[in-house]
Amino acid sequence: MTESAYRTIRLHALGDILREHRRSRRNFRALVEGDVCYTYEQFDVRVNRLANLLRAKGMRKGERLLWMGQNSHRLLECLLAAAKLGAICCPANWRMSESEMAAVIEDFAPHVIIWQEAEVGDTVRAARGKVKDEHCWIQHDSDGPDSYEALLAIQSDRDDEERIEPELPVLAVYTAAFGGRPSAALITHSAVMYQNLIIGRVQGVDESSVNLNSGPMCHIATLMTTLAVFHHGGCNAFIARMNAEDVLKCIEKERVTHAFLPPPTIEQIRAINAEGKYDVSSCWATADAQEYNGNPMVAPASSPWGRNFGGYGQTEVMGMFSMRAFGGSTMAGRPISMVQVRIVDETGQDVPPGETGEIVVRGALVMSGYFDRDRPGEENETRSRDGWHHTNDLGKREEDGSLVFVGPKTTIIKSAAENVYPAEVENCLRTHPAVADVCVIGVPDPKWEQSVKAVVVLRSDASATPEELIEHCKARIASYKKPRFVDFADALPKAGFVVDRKAVDAAFGGGGYPKAH
Amino acid sequence: MTESAYRTIRLHALGDILREHRRSRRNFRALVEGDVCYTYEQFDVRVNRLANLLRAKGMRKGERLLWMGQNSHRLLECLLAAAKLGAICCPANWRMSESEMAAVIEDFAPHVIIWQEAEVGDTVRAARGKVKDEHCWIQHDSDGPDSYEALLAIQSDRDDEERIEPELPVLAVYTAAFGGRPSAALITHSAVMYQNLIIGRVQGVDESSVNLNSGPMCHIATLMTTLAVFHHGGCNAFIARMNAEDVLKCIEKERVTHAFLPPPTIEQIRAINAEGKYDVSSCWATADAQEYNGNPMVAPASSPWGRNFGGYGQTEVMGMFSMRAFGGSTMAGRPISMVQVRIVDETGQDVPPGETGEIVVRGALVMSGYFDRDRPGEENETRSRDGWHHTNDLGKREEDGSLVFVGPKTTIIKSAAENVYPAEVENCLRTHPAVADVCVIGVPDPKWEQSVKAVVVLRSDASATPEELIEHCKARIASYKKPRFVDFADALPKAGFVVDRKAVDAAFGGGGYPKAH
């Protein structure tokens, strides 16, 4: 009897954080978008109305809400309303094609879909035409009588304060299609809260922080900071999508302290603001502040993140789970305190420091599984083995315990019975002083199935022979992994920021990367 | 099936933090005491041996281990071994009398008792003579064949890696005898881990921190930092008990960065080190650093704690749960993000900002209950009402959401049907510029049962009449709370650092404080 009283008293989930902000920071700014500004009291009132609306639409604990729009304060309201209901909110990627969108709707089976007309409306309508008519659709950017705002206005703002288990999932994020189709990683309240505390410290977030949601909110890299700022009672500002001029205006107007800005946006900002048109001093003390130079998660220069930028992670583990800010000599740093990390071989045994294996992880930041991937042979089985989540990434430990991310495990070359990971061979070649860039492919071999070939871009001021490079590898990695052939190129084709492996493979006689087992 | 696979993968408890430190910080110093120094690898090996020893002694999940000794690295080993077993470790107060100690043994019913000869042996033996012979006793400060070290040495260091639910209690701390006898608050793994992250940030703890366990480790105020330093992979140094010379030696030798030092020890340190005999620069950049001046939890001056010292909490909520470091205008600051806090009247309704009521709290830092206080009318029922833990403390909210600790609720004066809280009246009188110190008592009143009397110490440079002081209160608190009488005194008798209410009551005609209902 009394044990369960204290069990209930101990429950604390994202909705409870909002409730306490309403008491402790009633008049603090919580949400800012254009001319709209809501305090934490107003935020909580709106979330209560939305929760009551969703409940009136029949949405219950464990059910799902899909956001099909761009960045908006309403997306954070949806996440918090889902949190108060014990439901799950998924911010879909608004850049999907209509068939991708339809596939997500069918896969995620949301009870309610909040959608947007601006920029996304045509695709949404097309996707809607492809799926069964079994969802409740609410448009958020309309002033019609059935719009989000109109429906909210007529709801009660009563908070029934249902106690929510923090082990329930609250956030779903679709991740890379390792299995051929994207899957939604389900993130629990407690994973979000632990990460909020960690990111809050690392990025120097407190109640005075103003975070510009400029990165896409369907990505964990953006959400990590959004949620940490919410958690600490700071202010989240929103722009619908990344746009350098909008970013600059918002930084000046809202005195932004945190943002997500990829290098291309930084370059645009540099160009637009070369003569100081906008006051960005709240974000960067100097125009050449370290984080201005390509750190996509902009945090104060004095924060642990600003001083020791770098980390490693994945969506399935609530974003970064290893960070330089917690020590270590590598870019990935040391694992954070709420997870355990091992480097294992194909049989699940630990490999010694310095040797490459798969990074596996367990602990409080790991997802509670992919949504609806529970059938035999599906992702929830293949990715969870022996009590560890398998990242599908290769890594190694330095002697001092630091983690190194080597590359994806799913891109492999088959040489006889052995799997060769191109990323590992490339990492080895990059340690040669003459190598500027490199891509390793597998060329057909009648005897060994594939042979390893390295396509190398040399530094303009350096030279090396194929034999030298092969010897370099032989001294450092297992002999069967060393390139048998080395070709030279002036540059490698890119897809975005990364090497386009398929194009290299096609141009240099490769046989394709076999599917990883 | 797969859901439960990820449920197991998500489990993370204190033992898992140690396991990861062994991988990530293998050669880092973990424990230092005198000439003994153990790395995290050695710490984990010792904890595994101890866990296997306890298991061999028949100790199982949910069972209890009692530490009856002074500060020691072995106490932290006991806590981590209990953590790996899913058991509970209680550091008893070694200053207890033999009958208090016997009462704790009978109350806590520990499977294993680790005890100490030095300074505590006589009391332990006397207590042992008073209780049933049903415990396993192990002496930790001996080199005999049955000693802690000898028994550890012959155990396997195998780690069976049992997965432990973080909602299980791991730490038991006896707290003030509100109900007439001390009760053991049971603190869960997750409460400790959340608090570790919060204290780690507030006190600036990282893997380079060296914390001197100088405060008594039976107190949550010491353990809060001990555990945060462990959590972040720093080094814990131990001295058996508070001693200014030992503190100074250890600060110099181990380059201590954090410590627990009450004002009297600080005064002794000032006297001993007036001429800089010991190098204390690792702890204090300057001799006049803020934290040198009476802040009992010594953290780097640049940490949030160093910059904004202050907070409020209690053992039942894993120490502090409101802190100035998270904002606010009062010493208690704002509640931390992992709890909700309300100020309620006798009926459990919120009182408005500025008005005094009982502080109630719920959330992830609250204990899972007192050990064995589950019978009707016992503490687990009386302290948990309407889904909130009742702190038995009075407080109020400022308009800006800051929390004010007013005083204990259990000390009351009965005036007719009303309860008057002396702390509230004292707080009001302290805002009068002429008042240096004050204690409010209840004098017998034939009509009203008790009347309120204030015993006031005036500032040496100020004066005030009883009428002025009564008017001061009348303008600020309910009329029935204002003093009817005011006496003046040169000083108030103290018990340690606080006013000795009983002595004031006896000296100024009081009728005692009735038992709170």
More reliable by pLDDT, B285 or B213: B213
State whether residue B329 sits within 8 Å of chain A by CB. Answer: no
Contact B15, B83 (CB under 8 A): yes
- Tell which phi-psi region holds residue A496, choosing left (phi > 0), alpha (psi between -120 and 50) or beta: left
Q: What is the DSSP letter of A226?
A: H
Q: Please, where are the H alpha helices in A172-262?
A: 189-202, 220-231, 244-254
Q: Where are the alpha helices (DSSP H) in A232-349?
A: 244-254, 263-272, 304-307
Contact B341 A23 (CB under 8 A): yes
Q: Most B CBs within 10 Å: which of A11, A12, A28, as the mutation test of the B interface? A: A12
Q: Distance between CA atoms of B397 and A24, rounded to whole angstroms?
A: 9
Nearest CA in chain A to B342: A23
The phi, psi pair for B24, rounded to 5°, reads -85, -25
Nearest residue of chain B to residue A377 (CA atoms) = B2
Put simply, the answer to whether A384 touches B232 (Cβ < 8 Å) is no
First to last CA, chain B: 51
CA B444 to chain A, closest CA, distance in angstroms equals: 38
State mean pLDDT over A252-271: 88
Subunit contact A2:B384, Cβ cutoff 8 A:
yes
pLDDT tens readout for residues B30-63:
999 999 999 999 999 999 999 999 999 999 999 9
Chain B residues whose beta carbon lies within 8 Å of the beta carbon of residue A206? 326-327
Percent above pLDDT 90 for chain A: 75
| Chain B positions in Cβ-Cβ contact with residue A384 (cut-off 8 Å) | 2, 5-6, 9
On whether any CB of chain B is under 8 Å from the CB of A165, the answer is no
Inter-chain contact A188–B339, Cβ cutoff 8 Å? no
For the segment B239-263, the average pLDDT, to the nearest whole number, is: 92
Residue of A nearest to B328 (CA): A24
Strand B36-39, strand B388-397: pairing: unpaired
Given this model, what pLDDT does residue A180 score? 63
Q: What chain B residue is nearest to A231 in terms of C-alpha separation?
A: B337
| Beta carbons within 8 Å of B94's beta carbon, 6+ residues apart | B68, B69, B70, B116, B119, B120, B123, B216, B218
Size of interface A-B (CB pairs under 8 A): 210
CA distances from B302 to A236, B269, B305 (A): 27, 22, 8
Q: Are B193 and A338 in contact (CB under 8 A)?
A: yes
The distance of Cα A511 from the centroid of its chain, to the nearest Å, equals 32
- State which amino acid sits at residue B85: L
Q: How far is CA A482 from CA A317, A469, A515, B515, in A?
A: 33, 9, 21, 82
What mean pLDDT comes out for the span A283-306?
69
Handedness of CA A153, A154, A156, A161 (dihedral sign): negative
Q: How far is CA A339 from CA A356, A360, B48, in A?
A: 20, 10, 20
> Which of A231, A337, A400 comes nearest B232 by C-beta?
A337
User: Tokens at residue A432, please?
Assistant: 């040669």
pLDDT in tens, A120-178: 999 999 999 999 989 999 999 999 999 999 999 999 999 999 999 999 999 999 987 55
Specify the range with the lowest mean pLDDT, choosing from A135-139, A489-493, B65-69, B411-415. B411-415
pLDDT band at residue B517, thresholds of 50, 70 and 90? Answer: very low
Q: Please judge whether B327 and A389 are an interchain contact, meaning their C-beta atoms are less than 8 angstroms apart.
A: no
Work out the pLDDT band at B1, boundaries 50, 70, 90: very low
Please enumerate in sequence order all residues whose Cβ is within 8 A of that of A270, keeping only pairs 6 or more positions apart, or say none.
none
Q: What is the pLDDT of residues B90-145, one digit of tens each?
A: 999 999 889 899 999 999 999 999 999 999 999 999 999 999 989 999 999 999 99
Domains of chain A plus CATH, in order, are 13-202+217-230 (3.40.50.12780), 242-301 (no CATH), 333-408 (2.30.38.10), 413-507 (3.30.300.30)
**DSSP one-letter string for A474-485:** HTTS-GGGS-SE
**pLDDT band, very low/low/confident/very high, at A289 (cuts 50, 70, 90):** low
A188 contacts in chain B (CB < 8 Å): 10
Nearest to A12 among B7, B200, B364 (CB): B364
| Contact status of B401 with chain A (Cβ, < 8 Å) | yes
Nearest to A419 by CA among A404, A431, A430, A407: A407
**Residue B21: closest C-alpha in chain A:** A337
> Within the 182-201 window of chain A, which residues sit less than 8 Å (CB to CB) from chain B?
188, 190-191, 193-194, 196-198, 200-201
Residue A107 phi, psi dihedral angles, 5° rounding: -70, -45
Q: Say yes or no: B17 contacts chain A, CB-CB below 8 A.
A: yes
Average pLDDT of the segment spanning A252-276: 88
Q: How confident is the model at residue A305 (pLDDT cuts 50, 70, 90)?
A: confident
pLDDT of res. A126: 96
The pLDDT of residue A20 is above 50? yes
The residue in chain A having the minimum alpha-carbon distance to the alpha carbon of residue B3 is A369
Which range has the worst mean pLDDT, A256-265, A343-352, A496-505, B437-446?
A: A496-505
Nearest to A232 among B10, B337, B402 (CB): B337
Q: Is the dihedral of CA B153, B155, B156, B160 positive or negative?
A: negative
Q: Does the pLDDT of residue B352 top 50, yes or no?
A: yes
Q: How far apart are CA A123 and CA A115, in angstroms?
A: 10
pLDDT reading at A311 higher than 80: yes
Return the SS3 of A70.
Answer: coil
Q: From the CA of B198, how many Å to the nearest CA of chain A? A: 7
Whether A389 has its CB under 8 Å from any CB of chain B: the answer is yes
pLDDT at site A479: 83
B5 touches chain A (CB under 8 A): yes
Six token digits for residue A37: 């500004």
Q: Is there a contact between B380 and A231 if contact means CB atoms under 8 Å apart? A: no
Residue of A24, A208, A401 lying closest to B401 (CB–CB): A24
- Between CA A439 and CA B63 the distance in angstroms is 57
Tokens of residue B220, six digits: 């949550």
A163 neighbourhood in chain B, CB within 8 Å: 387
Question: How far apart, in Å, do the first and last CA atoms of chain A sit?
Answer: 51
The answer to whether B119 and B96 have CB atoms below 8 angstroms apart is: no
CA angle B326, B328, B331 (to 5 degrees): 95
Residues of chain B with Cβ-Cβ distance to A200 below 8 Å are: 201
The tokens describing B420, both together, are 């008057």
* Residue A1 banded pLDDT, cuts 50, 70, 90: very low
Contact A338 B193 (CB under 8 A): yes
Checking if the pLDDT of A293 tops 50, the result is: no
- B214 has pLDDT over 50: yes
Short-list A307, A326, A303, CA closest to A209: A303
Tell me the mean pLDDT in the region B256-283.
88
Helix (H, G, I), strand (E, B) or coil at A258: strand
CA B464 to chain centre: 38
Closest to A341 in 3D by CA, of B200, B22, B195, B206? B22
- Residue A424: pLDDT band (50, 70, 90) is confident
CB atoms within 10 A of CB B494: 12
Interatomic CA distance for residues A189 and B10, integer angstroms = 12
Q: Chain A: give the shortest CA distance to residue B414, in Å.
A: 30
CA distance A161 to chain B (A): 11
Give residue B265's pLDDT: 84
Specify the pLDDT at position A167. 97
Q: Which band of pLDDT confidence, cut at 50, 70 and 90, is reported for residue B293?
A: very low
User: Is the pLDDT confidence value at A2 over 70?
Assistant: no
CB within 8 Å of B174: residues ≥ 6 apart: B90, B92, B93, B104, B182, B183, B184, B185, B218
Q: Is the pLDDT of residue A446 over 60?
A: yes
Average pLDDT, integer, range A448-454: 90
Q: Kindly report which listed range (A27-36, A294-303, B62-71, B180-189) carries the lowest average pLDDT score.
A: A294-303
- CA gap B479, A187 in Å, rounded: 54
pLDDT classification of B13: cutoffs 50, 70, 90: very high
Greater model confidence, B506 or A168: A168
In a 3-state reduction of DSSP, which class is residue A501? helix
Tokens 């720093």 sit on residue: B234
Phi-psi region of B294 (alpha: psi -120 to 50; beta: other; left: phi over 0): left
At which residue do the structure tokens 């000439």 appear?
A: B35
Burial track A290-305 (b if 16+ CB lie within 10 A, e otherwise):
ebbeebbbbbbbebbb
DSSP conformational letter for B370: B
B chain contacts of residue A326, beta-carbon cutoff 8 Å? 206-207, 232-233
What's chain B's length in residues? Answer: 517
- Residue found under tokens 């309610």: A112
A29 touches chain B (CB under 8 A): no
Pairwise CA distance, residues A112 & A147, whole Å: 13
Higher pLDDT, B308 or A251: A251
Question: Could you read off the pLDDT of B329-349 as tens digits, one per residue?
Answer: 999 999 999 999 999 998 999
ipTM of the complex: 0.90
Would you call B381 and A206 a contact, using CB atoms and an 8 Å cutoff?
no
DSSP H helices, B312-421, are 379-382
- The answer to whether residue B510 scores a pLDDT higher than 50 is yes
Which of A163-172, A186-195, A371-380 shows the lowest per-residue confidence on average (mean pLDDT)? A371-380
Determine the residue among A7, A17, A18, A24 to mutate to test chain B binding: the one whose Cβ has the most chain B Cβ atoms within 10 Å.
A24
Q: Which pLDDT score, from 0 to 100, does residue A285 have?
A: 61
Pairwise CB contact (< 8 Å): B201 & A196: no
Residues listed for chain A: 517
Q: Which residue has the tokens 């603001």?
A: A273
Q: Please give the average per-residue pLDDT across B408-436, as a whole number.
A: 85
pLDDT of residue B153: 96
CA angle A176/A181/A182 to nearest 5° reads 40
For range A356-381, the mean pLDDT = 95
**pLDDT tens column, A483-509:** 999 999 999 998 766 788 889 999 998
What DSSP element (H or E) covers B88? strand B88-91
Mean pLDDT of A349-371: 96
- Nearest CA to B486 among B453, B513, B509, B445? B453
CA distance A498 to B401: 49
pLDDT beyond 80 at B496: no
E strands along A223-348, which residues?
Answer: 235-238, 258-260, 297-298, 311-314, 319-323, 334-335, 339-344
What is the pLDDT at residue A288? 55
> Which of A12, A363, A367 is closest, CB to CB, to B338?
A12
Q: Do B20 and A188 touch (CB under 8 A)?
A: no
DSSP letter assigned to residue A370 = B
Q: What is the pLDDT of residue A245?
A: 94
Give exposure, B261-298, as e/b (b: 16+ Cβ within 10 Å): bbeebbebbeeebeeeebebeebbeeeebebbeebbbb
Q: What is the mean pLDDT of residues A247-267?
A: 90
pTM attached to this predicted model? 0.90
Model confidence at A287: pLDDT above 60: no
- Return the DSSP state at B513: P
Averaged pLDDT for residues B193-219: 96
pLDDT for the residue A6: 95
pLDDT of residue B119: 96
Distance CA A270, CA B17 (A): 43
The nearest CA of chain B is from the CA of A92 a distance in Å of: 23
Q: Is the pLDDT of residue B180 over 70?
A: no
How far from A176 is each of A370, A388, B110, CA to CA, in Å? 12, 19, 51
Q: Which two tokens stand for residue B510?
A: 């009081």
Q: How far, rounded to the nearest angstrom, does the alpha carbon of residue A65 sit from its chain's CA centroid?
A: 19
Categorize the per-residue pLDDT at A512 as very low, low, confident or very high, splitting at 50, 70 and 90. confident
> Which of residues 340 through 369 in chain B touch A, CB cutoff 8 A?
340-342, 362-364, 366-369
Task: Quote the distance between the C-alpha of residue B126 and its chain's center.
Answer: 27
Over chain A, what is the mean pLDDT?
91
Radius of gyration of chain A (CA): 24
Average pLDDT rounded to a whole number, residues A210-217: 95
B374/A2 Cβ within 8 A:
yes
Write out chain A residues lying below 8 Å of B362, CB-based: 9-12, 16
CB-neighbour burial class of residue A180 (10 A; exposed 0-12, middle 13-18, buried 19+): exposed
**Euclidean distance between CA atoms A284 and B489, whole angstroms:** 58
Contact yes or no for A256/A272 (Cβ under 8 A): no
Nearest to A6 among B9, B364, B380 (CB): B380
Confidence band for A517, pLDDT divided at 50, 70 and 90:
very low
